[in-house]
């Protein structure tokens, strides 16, 4: 098996939450319970829930590879009879979660409320929507100074899907997962969402596979790290010598858990 095939297998198996059925089922169960509990508490104050983020893009990593993996949930409040301030909704959610999940960690972390369970973290964001024939549905989440700001919660999903299709072979999604694993191992120098967006926005020309695309991408996003520069140098050096074993050893310095 070529080194590209090994890296692709790692990205599409070990780094995919769906391949850990127990962990995935546990997360979905907790997510459904969270939505049910919030709806029971706030009733008609809540219009809907919207799941967004890496969980919906299938780029969330198992916690074995990213201890900060989380699920983003938007709580869309009913504004028909008036709109409260962002801090009011955040306070409602925070106080309720503290009461319902007393043994878990819940705290405000603008603009979300974080809920940390044993097996997963949730980022819960209050929101409201408006609708028009011209603009469709517009989403608003807390902004600064008690304001609301417009957001497009799943626009990056469409960009990823389009670019992934254009490149083919699931290469872009593979690279996103690999880079998120690297990011976790290097102490999270990049915020997860911004990292994904940056990777998706990168442009490279020529025929590429997961291996070559990952090396080019990590060279860009990890350029501030001497350890990345060194690893890339030796990966290329041993590639020129045809020594795949040494290539894998240096890849492991970037991607712990990749055994080739």
**39 occurs within a structural domain:** yes
- Identify the domain containing residue 44 by its residue range: 17-153
Point out the domain boundary residue: 121, 153, 185: 153
Between CA 146 and CA 207 the distance in angstroms is 49
Q: What sections of 58-118 are H helices per DSSP?
A: 86-100
pLDDT, average across residues 77-94: 94
pLDDT, average across residues 96-109: 87
**143 occurs within a structural domain:** yes
**259 occurs within a structural domain:** no
Alpha carbon separation from 92 to 85, 158, 199, 239 (Å, rounded): 11, 32, 36, 56
Note whether 8 and 64 are same-domain residues: no
Q: What sections of the chain are H helices per DSSP?
A: 3-9, 21-42, 54-57, 86-100, 155-167, 171-185, 192-201, 210-221, 226-241, 244-254
Whether 128 has a pLDDT exceeding 80, the answer reads: yes
pLDDT reported for residue 18: 83
Note whether 163 and 102 are same-domain residues: no
Note whether 42 and 128 are same-domain residues: yes
The answer, yes or no, to whether the previous bond of 111 is cis (omega within 30 of 0) is yes
Note whether 10 and 76 are same-domain residues: no
* The token pair that represents 195 in the structure block: 């990292």
Between CA 260 and CA 257 the distance in angstroms is 9
CATH number at residue 140: 3.30.460.90
Q: pLDDT confidence of 129, banded at 50, 70, 90?
A: very high
**128 occurs within a structural domain:** yes
Note whether 61 and 132 are same-domain residues: yes
Note whether 8 and 21 are same-domain residues: no
pLDDT reported for residue 226: 97
- Domain count for the chain: 2
Phi, psi of 65, deg, nearest 5 = -110, -15
pTM of the predicted structure, to 2 decimals: 0.93
Point out the domain boundary residue: 153, 185, 218: 153
Q: pLDDT confidence of 198, banded at 50, 70, 90?
A: very high
pLDDT reported for residue 223: 93
């Amino acid at each position: 098996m070529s080194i590209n095939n090994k890296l692709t297998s790692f990205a599409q198996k070990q780094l995919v939450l769906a391949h850990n059925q127990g962990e995935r089922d546990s997360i979905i169960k907790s997510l459904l319970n969270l939505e049910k509990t919030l709806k029971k508490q706030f009733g008609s104050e809540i219009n809907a829930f919207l799941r967004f983020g890496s969980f919906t893009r299938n780029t969330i990593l198992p916690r074995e590879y990213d201890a900060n993996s989380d699920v983003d949930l938007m709580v869309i409040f009913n504004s028909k009879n008036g709109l409260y301030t962002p801090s009011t909704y955040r306070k409602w959610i925070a106080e309720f979660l503290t009461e319902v999940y007393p043994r878990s960690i819940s705290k405000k972390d603008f603009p979300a409320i974080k809920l940390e369970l044993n097996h997963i973290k949730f980022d819960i964001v209050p929101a409201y929507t408006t609708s028009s024939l011209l603009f469709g549905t517009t989403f608003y989440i807390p902004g600064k100074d008690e304001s609301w700001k417009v957001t497009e919660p799943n626009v990056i999903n469409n960009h990823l899907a389009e670019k992934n299709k254009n490149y083919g072979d699931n290469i872009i999604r593979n690279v996103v997962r690999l880079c998120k694993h690297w990011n976790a191992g290097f102490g999270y120098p990049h915020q997860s969402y911004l990292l994904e967006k940056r990777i998706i926005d990168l442009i490279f020309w020529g025929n590429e596979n997961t291996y070559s695309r990952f090396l080019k991408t990590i060279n860009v996003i990890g350029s501030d790290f001497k350890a990345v520069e060194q690893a890339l140098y030796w990966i290329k050096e041993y590639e020129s010598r045809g020594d795949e074993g040494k290539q894998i050893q240096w890849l492991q310095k970037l991607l712990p858990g990749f055994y080739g």
